[in-house]
Amino acid sequence: MRIMPKVTNNLARRILQRKSDPCASQTPAPSENTWQQVPAKFLTFETLPAYTNMRMMQEAARGLGIGDPFFKMHEGQASVVTRVNGKTCTNFSHYNYLGLSGHKEVNAAAIEAIQRYGTTAGASRLVAGERPVQRELEEALAKVYDAEDALVFVSGHATNVSTISTLFGPKDLVIHDQLAHNSILEGIRLSGATRRSFPHNNASFLDNTLRDLRSRFERVLIVVEGLYSMDGDIPHLPTLIAIKKRHGAFLMVDEAHSLGVLGASGRGIAEHFDANFKDIDIWMGTLTKALGTCGGFIAGSKILVDILKYHAPGFVYSVGISPPLAAAALAALKVMQREPERIMRLRQNSQAFLDYARKLGLNTGLSQGFSIVPIIVGSSKKAVQLSNELYERNINVQPIIYPGVEEQVARLRFFLSCDHQDEDLKKTCQTLKGLI
Ligand SMILES: Cc1ncc(COP(=O)(O)O)c(C=O)c1O
C-alpha cells in the first residue's frame, strides 16, 4: 500500500513525458542509482594490478636512477642505423631481417597501390570485396609453403588467436612448446580447448604426453614456432612430424621469425630440414618480420582456408589487409626470392655475432645464430641498465625483462639484419663485454 503513491507518480510522469517528448516511448525510465554501493576501487582503472605493478616498477627504476628504455622516438625507418633524439645508433631492435622495409621496390609497390586503391581495404573483405593484390599475395604465400591456399589477416597476433580459437574447442587438446608466443596462448584460451605445454624443444615429453592423453580428446593440435623469438633456436621438425603422425594430431608451425630466415631460399623451417611442407597442417606466418610490413597469414589446405575465410572472427569481422601493405609484402617476397644472397648475408651476420659473443664469454643461451641472439644477463634490472648504457654508446638494443621471460634469464635481445656491418657486430659485443 505504501508504495502506491510512488508507482502512481512514476506512471503520471511517464504519461506526461510521452505527451511532450515524441521519443519518450523509446527511452526507458532511469533505474535506481547503484554506484554508491560499489567499492571505490572498482570505479577506476588505477587499482588494476597491471597498473599498480607498472607504477611500482617505474618507481623502483627511478629510485635506482635507471631510465626507461622503452618507447624511444625514432626519426626514420626501422633499419640497422637509426636516429633517436638526434643521436645515431647501430640498431638491433627491429625485425627488418632482410632490409626489405624501405627497399625502393617495396616502397614503389606500396605507393602505386595507394594511387590505385587508396589506403584502406574499405571493410572486411566479405563486405568490401577483394582487391587483386590481396589475392596475389595469398597465392604467392601459398606457393612458398607448397599449400593449396593462404589467407592474410591484418595482424600476426590476431591470426594465431583467431585461427586456433576457430578450429578447436572444449573437446580438443592443444599442446604447445613452453616458449610459445602469447598469441598462441591467447588463441588456445579463447578456444576453450584443454591446454598442455611441453618443456622447450623436448620432443620425447610431447610424445609421452600424447601417448597418455590422446584418447581422451577429439582433435589434438601441436603448436611450435619455426624459430623461437626469445631464444633464437629451432625445433627438430622431422621428429615433430613423426610424433604428430604417430598420435593422429595436427601440427601448426608459427613461422613469424623463420620465413625469410631459414632455408636457402627463405622458405622457412621445412626447407631448412628438407621436410615435406604438406606434413604440416597449419602454416602460420607474419608479414611483419622479414617481409617488413604488417599482417599475418595462414597457409594450408583449401578446406582450412575456406573455414577461416568464413568463420575466423579476426578475418570476417575485421577489415581486410590494406592494398598498399599487401602490395609491399608481395614486392618484398619477390625481392627475397630473387635475391637469396640477402638470406646468406643475414645468416653470416647472425653467425658472426653469435661467435663474437661466445668468444667473449657472453651468455647467448640457446641461440643457433639465425637472426636472433639473446645475451642473458640474469636480472631485469641489469638488462635495463645495460640497454641504457649501450644506448649512451650509440647502440640500440631492447631489454627483455620479467614477465616477458623468467627473471633469472632476463636478457638483451639482438635482432640481426643482412645489412649490419661486421665491424659494428664485433664492436657491439666488445662494448657489451666491457659493461658486464
Ligand atoms: C612467434 C610470433 N608469433 C606471432 C607474432 C605476432 O605477430 P605480429 O607482430 O605480426 O602481430 C609474433 C610477434 O612478434 C611472434 O614473435
In this structure, is residue 27 part of a structural domain? no
| pLDDT tens column, 367-420 | 999 999 999 999 999 999 999 999 999 999 999 998 888 999 999 999 999 999
In this structure, is residue 191 part of a structural domain? yes
Angle of the 422-435 helix axis to the 380-392 helix axis, nearest 10? 130
Among 178, 181, 185, 257, say which to mutate for ligand 1: greatest number of ligand atoms within 8 Å of CB.
181
Task: Name the residue range of residue 153's domain.
Answer: 104-338
| β-pair partners for 429 | none
Q: Of 291, 307, 338, which one is at a domain's C-terminal end?
A: 338
Question: Quick one: 94 and 109 in the same domain?
Answer: no
Cα first-last separation, the chain: 81
In this structure, is residue 219 part of a structural domain? yes
At residue 427 the predicted structure's pLDDT band, cuts being 50, 70 and 90, is very high
Å from CA of 182 to ligand 1 middle: 8
Q: How far is 112 from 116, CA to CA, in rounded Å? A: 6
Question: Quick one: 90 and 175 in the same domain?
Answer: no
Measured CA angle at 68 (ends 62, 69), to 5 deg: 150
The closest alpha carbon to 122, from 111, 112, 134, 110, belongs to: 134
Question: Quick one: 218 and 278 in the same domain?
Answer: yes
Among 227, 288, 372, say which to mutate for ligand 1: greatest number of ligand atoms within 8 Å of CB.
288
The closest alpha carbon to 187, from 171, 168, 210, belongs to: 168
Give me the number of domains the chain comprises: 2
**Cβ-based neighbour number of residue 35 at 10 Å:** 7
Question: Quick one: 295 and 368 in the same domain?
Answer: no
Mean of all residue pLDDT scores within the chain: 93
Q: 66: burial class by Cβ within 10 Å (0-12, 13-18, 19+)?
A: middle
Q: Of 338, 356, 385, which one is at a domain's C-terminal end?
A: 338
Check which CATH number belongs to the domain holding 301 and give it: 3.40.640.10
List all residues whose CB is within 6 A of at least one atom of ligand 1: 155-157, 160, 181, 183, 225, 229, 254, 256-257, 286, 288, 296
Atom of ligand 1 nearest to the CA of 95: 14
How far CA 40 is from CA of 32, 36, 338, 350, in Å, comes to 18, 9, 62, 53
Contacts (Cβ under 8 Å, ≥6 apart) of 381: 61, 64, 66
Question: Quick one: 216 and 295 in the same domain?
Answer: yes
At residue 67 the predicted structure's pLDDT band, cuts being 50, 70 and 90, is confident
Asked if the model's pLDDT at residue 97 lies above 50, the reply is: yes
| β-pair partners for 197 | 176
In this structure, is residue 234 part of a structural domain? yes
Q: Of 304, 338, 372, which one is at a domain's C-terminal end?
A: 338
pTM: 0.91
Question: Quick one: 171 and 291 in the same domain?
Answer: yes
| β-pair partners for 373 | 414
Question: Quick one: 313 and 409 in the same domain?
Answer: no
Contact call for residues 421 and 395 (beta carbons, < 8 A):
no
Question: Quick one: 145 and 87 in the same domain?
Answer: no
